[in-house]
Each structure stands twice: as C-alpha cells, then as structure tokens.
Amino acid sequence: MAIWFITGCSTGFGHETALAALARGDKVIATARNTDDINDLADKGALVIALDLSWPEEKIQEAVNVAMEPFGSVDILFNNAGVNMVGSLEEVSSKEARAMFDVNFWGHISVTHAILPHMRAQKHGTIAFNGSMLGWTGMGCVSTYTATKWAIAGLAHCLKEEVKGFGITVTVIEPGFFRTQAFGAAKQLFPAQGMEGYKVAMEPLRTLVGTVHGRQAGDPVKAARVIVEALTGEGAFEGKEVPARLVLGADAVGMVEGVLNGQKRSLEEWKSVSVSTDFTVAE
C-alpha cells in the first residue's frame, strides 16, 4: 500500500489517478482549490484538502504538512495541477504569464520542498510532474504555457540526478491531447487583451480549441492506470526503471519522434561548424 499526494484532483489526470490509486487500495491525499469539487474522492476514502498552487510557498507548505500528519510521510508525489493559456507572447501580459509560472512551476517546487525531506528521511519515494508533449517542441501562440512545460522537464531531469542517491525516483509525464477539461468552457484560455496583429496566427488555435474539446483521442482513465503502474512499479513497469520522460498518447509519441529525428538531422548538418569552435591541440 502506497501513500499518495496528488495536486489538481478536481478533473482530468489528477482526478482519474486518485481514483485508480484508491481502487488499488492505496491511501490518497487529494487536493483541489475547491474541495467541493472532489467530494466523490472523499466518499471513496481520500483525505481531501484545499490547496491553491498560486499561494505563497509558506502557506502551501503549511497545508501540505497538515495533510501529511495522519500518515507521517508520502511515498508518491504527483505534481499534477496546472493552468494553460493560448496566446502569443505579446498578447499574454506579464501578470498572466507569471500566474501560469506560479502554478505550473513554482507551485510544484513549493509542494516538492515540503515533501522531499520526508522522502529523504525514509530513503525512498517517487516524484512525478505533469508536463506536456509541448515540452519537446515549440508551437506558435502557446509560448508562455510551453515555456512552463520546458521548465518543469528541465527541473525533473536535474532533480532526478540530485535525489537518486536517496532512493527517490523522479519522472515527468508528458501527455498529448487527452479528453480532459483542459479546453473546457470554464477555462480562461485566451489573454484578456488580444491583438489584431496576431488574429490570423491565433485563428487556427481558436478553431482547434473549439473542435478538439471532447474529441481528443487520449483516454484519461487509461492514462491514469498507466501512471499508477509507472509510479508504483507494477504492470509494464515491474522490474524496470521508470523513464525520465514518460510520453502518453499516440499523438505525443508521433510528435516526439519527429522532433528527435529533426534534431538529429540538424545536429549532423551543422556538426562540423559546431565542433570548429573548440581550441585546437596546438593552441
């Protein structure tokens, strides 16, 4: 039996992963900004707490510490909560950009800061971050959101090396388009102040959001089962080390394959120029 701490459990991956962990017989601390949104998880035995990753770090850590008291520690931390916004860099205000980083990056750091000392003391644990296939590439008019996902992937890679000596595993889960509420009507997906100059560039994305929502190929229930297996070392992951980057969804796999192939071609094309910048033996 594992003890989980999962952020952003009101919908999507957080909610489905909490359900899958509870079905496995695990203990789950489930968080959401509004606990009324996760009453069903409480009914199934989860300990639910209010947690907003935009809170100051001290308040986040206080909430985490209070939630952990009944259990003493946590075996698996799933930093899942996130917000998104579709807009060009010029359209997204500094306030909106900082708000995204507060949740998608700094909030994860605050929660991890609170739980990591307990994992070090017990000499085991698993930390997962919810990234995105966009953490591999760039796409116009989602620059700020994409930057948060690149940042979290870089953080996860470094943290993995820092804590492996304590028996702690770190991974970043990078899904493609899944049938969650990420594009839901309740979300503020677009900047408060759009710009006429980017109207043409934004139109395909506005169309995509309107047509894709509810039709995404990815099944969050199936994804949650894989996430639980990956973070508990069961199923396909039994006896194997969880990958540093766990890509989910056929669309994500296709995108990553294309990126890697393109990067390899570019590296080979410019290799002679790149290596020409070193000192020569004579120097």
DSSP string covering 63-102, please? HHHHHHTTTSS-SEEEE-------B-TTTS-HHHHHHHHI
pTM (predicted TM-score): 0.92
Check if the beta carbon of residue 46 is closer than 8 Å to that of residue 251. no
* pLDDT tens figures, 196-242: 888 888 887 777 677 777 677 789 999 999 999 999 999 999 999 99
Active-site position among 129, 136, 145, 190: 145
Q: Is 198 one of the annotated active-site residues of the chain?
A: no
How do 168-175 and 47-50 pair as beta strands? unpaired
Which of 55-64, 79-88, 235-244 shows the lowest mean pLDDT across its residues?
79-88
Superfamily of segment(s) 3-275: NAD(P)-binding Rossmann-like Domain (3.40.50.720)
* pLDDT tens figures, 114-156: 999 999 999 999 999 999 999 999 888 889 999 999 999 999 9
Domains in the chain: boundaries: 3-275
Which of these, 180, 228, 157, lies nearest to 81 by C-alpha position? 180
Paired tokens of 182? 């990420």
Check if the beta carbon of residue 87 is closer than 8 Å to that of residue 191. yes
The count of C-alpha atoms lying within 13 angstroms of the C-alpha of 38, restricted to the half-sphere facing its C-beta, is 30
CA–CA gap between residue 270 and residue 239 (Å, rounded): 40
Predicted pLDDT at 196: 86
Which of these, 18, 16, 83, lies nearest to 49 by C-alpha position? 18
